[in-house]
């Protein structure tokens, strides 16, 4: 759980692109700090000829807390249809996100206790872990910490967003998986399970997410893993089966 108050944005955005002429339906989940990369994502997937765009649409939505401690819902930031300006739609999404984010900041200032682990500095969590490690293991972990810091990740909550950000390369997301694994906070279970379910084209990322999930001692990701058994690739199904077969005594 990232934030507790109703109306607080999680920082996670979703783009759903549909192009009937290509029989394409693409769903991209990414963190708000990566919105600048969305233009190139759409440019690669939208066909250039106008006639090939006929019937195409995309929406951009933001995830916000639905009720106090009771899940999330999606709020529409923009809707684009073929024939309209892509740039105008993206400008509208950025404007609406800015307003939503500012509202969330006001809510947080009104009641600082409304946040839990999201704004804990990663370096503080890693310092705690390194105290119990060998020198070599500690150096490796701090190297990974520097990698994500160079990517603009400072807070623990940023790791939860980055692990599902498809605009980040798989190698970076694998580093994020490992950091979440060694930190061992159960709130990472659902984001890690989503990463496993989303990594159909990257076997290494699937298993990085699965290995991280294995140490969290929680069953909160079980519904996502069950869905992977039905819709995933063979590698994803193998990873999900391995996770679900773990002793119930290891879950909460």
- pLDDT level of residue 106 (50, 70, 90 thresholds): low
Give the separation between CA 252 and CA 74, rounded to whole angstroms.
28
Of the candidate ranges 6-10, 76-80, 130-134, 205-209, the one whose mean pLDDT is the lowest: 6-10
Could you report the per-residue pLDDT of 74-101, keeping only the tens digit for each?
A: 889 999 999 999 999 999 999 898 888 7
Using only the alpha carbons of the chain, give its radius of gyration. Answer: 19
What is the model's pLDDT at position 55?
Answer: 95
Both 178 and 231 in one domain: the answer is yes
111, 142, 164 - which closes a domain: 111
Both 135 and 94 in one domain: the answer is no
What is the model's pLDDT at position 70?
Answer: 54
pLDDT at 34 over 90: no
pLDDT at 227 over 80: yes
99 is a domain residue? yes
67, 90, 111 - which closes a domain: 111
Domain count, the chain: 2
Could you report the per-residue pLDDT of 168-223, keeping only the tens digit for each?
A: 888 999 999 999 999 988 889 988 998 999 887 799 999 999 999 998 878 888 88
Mean pLDDT for all residues in the chain: 83
Burial 182-221 (b: 16+ CB within 10 A, else e): bbebbbbbbbbbbbbbbbeebbebbbbbbbbbeebebbbb
Both 89 and 146 in one domain: the answer is no
- Could you tell me which residues come within 8 angstroms of residue 110 by beta carbon, excluding any fewer than 6 positions away? none
Structural domain containing residue 221:
122-250
């Amino acid at each position: 759980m990232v934030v507790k108050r109703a109306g607080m944005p999680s920082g996670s955005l979703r783009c759903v692109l549909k192009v009937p002429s290509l029989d394409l339906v693409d769903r991209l989940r990414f963190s708000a700090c990566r919105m600048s990369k969305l233009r190139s994502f759409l440019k690669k997937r939208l066909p250039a000829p106008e006639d090939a765009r006929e019937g195409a649409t995309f929406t951009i939505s933001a995830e916000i807390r639905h009720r106090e401690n009771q899940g999330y819902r999606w709020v529409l930031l923009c809707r684009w249809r073929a024939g309209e300006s892509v740039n105008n739609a993206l400008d509208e999404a950025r404007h609406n996100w800015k307003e939503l984010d500012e509202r969330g900041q006001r809510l947080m200032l009104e009641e600082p206790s409304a946040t839990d682990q999201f704004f804990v500095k990663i370096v503080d969590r890693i310092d705690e872990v390194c105290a119990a490690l060998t020198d070599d293991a500690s150096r490796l972990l701090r190297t990974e910490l520097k990698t994500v810091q160079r990517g603009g990740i400072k807070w623990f909550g940023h790791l939860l967003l980055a692990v599902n950000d498809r605009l980040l390369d798989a190698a970076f997301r694998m580093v994020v998986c490992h950091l979440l694994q060694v930190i061992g906070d159960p709130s990472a279970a659902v984001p890690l399970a989503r990463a496993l379910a989303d990594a159909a084209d990257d076997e290494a990322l699937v298993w990085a997410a699965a290995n991280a999930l294995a140490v969290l001692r929680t069953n909160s990701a079980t519904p996502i893993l069950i869905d992977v058994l039905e819709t995933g690739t063979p590698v994803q199904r193998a990873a999900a089966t391995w996770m679900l077969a773990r002793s119930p005594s290891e879950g909460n």
